[in-house]
Amino acid sequence: MVKCDICGLREAVVYQRHTGRRLCKECFFKDVLERVLNEVKRYEMFKDNDKIMLAVSGGKDSYVLMNIMTQIHDPSKLGAVTIVEGIKGYNRVEDLDQLRAYAKDHGIDIVVVSVKELSGYTVDEMVENSIGKGLKISPCTFCGIYRRRGINLVARSLGYNKVATAHNLDDEVQTLVINMLRGDEARLIMLHPKRRRFSELFVPKIKPLRKIYEYETARYAYLKGYKPQIYECPYLNMMPSLRSKIRDILYRLEEERPGSLLKLLEEYDKLFEKEVEKREVKLNTCIICGEPTSPGRRVCKACELLIKTGLLDTSLK
């Protein structure tokens, strides 16, 4: 039996490749919890009185987020929201029921909203129209925009003052690299945990798991016995996005040089810390739906997509 490198007593069940340690279940859970707490404190992500809405999808990371947040914040001040995309074969009643049951067991109220309720169309319908018009828009673009919008709308209307998402370290570094490659300065600033609030209409977002590797959230979920959603989205590989290419490259880099992703994010955090305090990104308001939109835009991306696919009838272009 290989013993845990921390307690030296119990059997090691996790090889934490970025530290080179082998850990038992208990020491691994403790290690993840402590690292989340460090990050939460370092960036003052929330205060004792904050009402935090957890954005959950039913995937492994959302179970880990709920588990950890109920340990570090008063469960009566937590809520959860999940967005049903409207993707055939992916949105399953059993998964939703399980998510509901888990949230209920942890004293968290969960709100379920569909993309159809938000936009009038399911993601499947948007994709179908887009293909019909010969457009090359990734299904994830429709899905991501409406999911983010739904989460923000629900949190705002129910009076939550923070939204916590389950983004892990791998997600964060992928976004960082994408924004750098695109030279998207505004988004680079907005990614930083110390960014200012850009619009009263946006409930500030926090990402407590941003320094936890994806392999760790997967192991955490497995060792806790969670049964997250296992069906893959049919659109996952339909149109390889820049993100999926970056994901592959970063995965290989991490394999060769364990700890690289963590180092990248740590360096970004330090380098941009001073910059984000000085910078103000002014968001515009969409002239169609009244929701906030990126600097320089008159029509938000959500409305623009519906116009392009012929699902929103307006003369405004």
* Two structure tokens written together for 169: 């370290």
For Zn ion, the closer of residues 264 and 306 by Cβ is 306
Distance CA 206, CA 72 (A): 14
CB 115 within 8 A of CB 121: yes
Residue 264 touches which member of Zn ion, ligand SF4, none, C-beta under 5-8 Å by kind: none
CB of 236 to ligand SF4, least distance (A): 4
Asked if 212 is part of the footprint of Zn ion (rule: CB under 5 A), the reply reads no
Residue 235 touches which member of ligand SF4, Zn ion, none, C-beta under 5-8 Å by kind: ligand SF4
Tell me if residue 171 falls in helix, strand or coil.
Answer: helix
Distance CA 122, CA 218 (A): 29
CB of 140 to ligand SF4, least distance (A): 3
For Zn ion, the closer of residues 3 and 42 by Cβ is 3
Distance CA 14, CA 2 (A): 11
For Zn ion, the closer of residues 83 and 99 by Cβ is 83
Residue 286 touches which member of ligand SF4, Zn ion, none, C-beta under 5-8 Å by kind: Zn ion
Could you tell me which stretch among 24-32, 91-99, 204-212, 247-255 binds Zn ion (CB under 5 A)? 24-32
CB of 291 to Zn ion, least distance (A): 5
Binding residues for ligand SF4, rule: CB under 6 A, are 85, 139-140, 143-144, 233, 235-236
Residue 312 touches which member of Zn ion, ligand SF4, none, C-beta under 5-8 Å by kind: none
For Zn ion, the closer of residues 233 and 289 by Cβ is 289
CB 262 within 8 A of CB 209: no
Distance CA 264, CA 244 (A): 18
Would you list the DSSP string of 99-115?
HHHHHHHTT-EEEEEEH
CB of 119 to Zn ion, least distance (A): 10
Asked if 236 is part of the footprint of Zn ion (rule: CB under 5 A), the reply reads no
CB of 16 to Zn ion, least distance (A): 12
Residue 139 bridge partners (DSSP): none
Burial (CB count within 10 angstroms: exposed 0-12, middle 13-18, buried 19+), residue 159: exposed
* Two structure tokens written together for 4: 């845990």
Residue 2 touches which member of Zn ion, ligand SF4, none, C-beta under 5-8 Å by kind: none
- Which CA distances in Å does 267 have to 173, 192, 215, 272? 11, 12, 21, 8
Task: Give the x/- contact pattern for Zn ion in 268-307, rule: CB under 5 A.
Answer: ------------------x-xx----------x--x----
Would you list the DSSP string of 186-202?
HHHHHTSTTPPP--TTS
Residue 112 bridge partners (DSSP): 82
Residue 83 touches which member of Zn ion, ligand SF4, none, C-beta under 5-8 Å by kind: none
CB of 230 to Zn ion, least distance (A): 29
CB of 5 to Zn ion, least distance (A): 8
Asked if 6 is part of the footprint of Zn ion (rule: CB under 5 A), the reply reads yes
Residue from 195, 156, 159, 192 nearest 269 by CA = 192
Which residue type, as a one-letter code, is found at position 75? P
Distance CA 222, CA 237 (A): 25
Asked if 7 is part of the footprint of Zn ion (rule: CB under 5 A), the reply reads yes
Distance CA 52, CA 156 (A): 11
Residues in the interface with Zn ion (CB under 5 A) total 11
CB of 154 to Zn ion, least distance (A): 17
Q: Which positions touch Zn ion (CB under 5 A)?
A: 4, 6-7, 10, 24, 27, 286, 288-289, 300, 303
